[in-house]
Amino acid sequence: TWTEFQPSKIEYEEPTQILSGRITIDTKLTKRNTYLLVGDVFVTDNATLSIEPGTVILGDFKTKGTLIISKGSKLLAEGKQTDPIIFTSNRSVKKPGDWGGIFLLGDAPTNQFGNESSLDYGLRPSSKLSLGYGGNNPESYSGIMKYVRIEYAGKRTKQYGNFSGLTLAGVGTETIIENIMVSYCKGRSFNVLGGDVILDRLVSYRSLSHDYEFNHGA
């Protein structure tokens, strides 16, 4: 009941709220609103972004909306089997690569020198610290993602290729990643960079690149 194999046939309400720039304090997204993700949106300063079951977040096509949960911050996106959380395109005719995707960064070890690394995907944070991941905490907790759908992500960049639907970088064992569906992504569906994350019940459907990719000692 939480999966969807024909997402192009579903129409969502017009956005009532905009997410942009930096989220530096604890913030909750509610089901009664529809959100537009504009540009590179960073959750920083150890803030927690909570999302209610059934909430819809539309990735903006024009600015290639992308959500980045920086190391130390958390994403609590706990949908329900009958009420999943949905990230999808804001275009009426949706296509793979309409928007960016989701990056979840933690401080679990990688096999990079010093156990730490930094994303280099052309993202534009106010501070490069917002792109760092990896560390010495294999049990690193970056939050919860359950019953979440990510549709039509994977924006193309000239220098770095296509984004993945969900990138997990330096994510540790205490983070819960369950029942996630990535569909019609122009890049990889799931990209895991280092860490000790446990993945449970993932669905990759119609990815134009790899379904799952593991690097940096994942």
Question: What's the pLDDT tens digit per position in 53-88?
Answer: 999 999 999 999 999 999 999 999 999 999 999 999
d(CA 29, CA 19): 10
d(CA 2, CA 178): 12
pLDDT confidence tier of residue 1, bands split at 50, 70 and 90 = confident
Q: Is the pLDDT of residue 124 over 80?
A: no
pLDDT for res 13? 95
Q: Is the pLDDT of residue 23 over 80?
A: yes
pLDDT for res 201? 97
SS3 169: strand
φ, ψ for residue 27 (rounded to 5)? -135, 140
Q: Is the pLDDT of residue 125 over 80?
A: no
Taking CA atoms, 44 is separated from 34, 47, 84, 105, 218, in Å, by 22, 6, 25, 11, 24
Q: Is the pLDDT of residue 216 over 80?
A: yes
pLDDT tens-digit series, residues 141-193: 999 999 999 999 999 988 888 999 999 999 999 999 999 999 999 999 999 99
d(CA 218, CA 213): 10
pLDDT for res 159? 84
| Helical spans, DSSP H, in 47-162 | none
- Tell me the pTM: 0.96
Convert 96-133 to b/e letters by CB count within 10 Å (16 or more is b). bbbbbbbbbbbbbbbebeebbbebebebebeeeebbbb
For the beta carbon of residue 7, count every other beta carbon within 10 angstroms. Answer: 19
